[in-house]
Amino acid sequence: MLCSGANSDAQAYDSGFVGVPTRVAPLGPVAEVAVGAAHRCVRLVAGDVRCWGSQEIARAASSSTSPAAPIVEAGRARVLSIEGVACAIDDVGALRCWGSNTSGALGSGDTRPVAAPAAPVGVTTATAVAKGSTTACAIRDGDVYCWGENGDGAVGDGTTAARYTPVRLTLP
């Protein structure tokens, strides 16, 4: 995998400006890439999720002092979505999210950071997950659940009240 950019948080896996695509440390075959403004995550063909860059994602579950060191975060994942926080669904459908949580988009019931991958309240399994900058949604058993800041009504529950735990949506 190759990365480039301003690299202010080691999101290109090197220090300083990276003006040309540069190989990230050996990761193994990559199946999926998720890119945030200050971090990167990949799902390897083997299923492991590795993240690096901004401390809020890459080092949330690690005691590593190197923000650039890729670390395994969520085990064997098959789906990954990222924007400010990261979420993954493992090979048995368990949904796990982690990160800074400033907008409540982890579904943990508050806005405190979540260091280790954890399930959103009440939505422990899912078949799909998607993240926006301040909200998240997941599909479980055919139902859609959303949560997060919701100031602009993005959660979809007909309100603009913050939803720090998942809300099952009533769809037309």
Backbone phi, then psi, for 57, in 5-degree steps? -105, -60
pLDDT in tens, 156-167: 999 999 999 999
What is the CATH number that goes with domain 2-168? Answer: 2.130.10.30
Q: Which positions ≥6 away from 77 have C-beta within 8 Å?
A: 43, 47, 48, 49, 88, 89, 90, 91
Backbone phi, then psi, for 4, in 5-degree steps? -155, 165
Q: Residue 18 and residue 129: Cα distance in Å, rounded?
A: 31
Question: What's the number of CA atoms in the CB half-sphere (13 Å) around residue 55?
Answer: 5
Q: How high is the pLDDT of residue 68?
A: 40
Q: Residue 122 and residue 119: Cα distance in Å, rounded?
A: 8
Q: How high is the pLDDT of residue 101?
A: 84
Q: How high is the pLDDT of residue 90?
A: 83
Q: How high is the pLDDT of residue 8?
A: 65
pLDDT in tens, 95-154: 988 887 888 989 999 998 887 788 999 999 999 998 887 899 999 999 999 999 998 999
Q: How high is the pLDDT of residue 59?
A: 47
Q: Are 106 and 95 in contact (CB under 8 A)?
A: no
Q: How many CB atoms lie within 10 A of CB 158?
A: 10
Domain ranges of the chain: 2-168
pLDDT in tens, 20-67: 777 776 677 888 887 777 777 778 887 777 777 766 554 454 444 333
- pTM for this prediction: 0.76
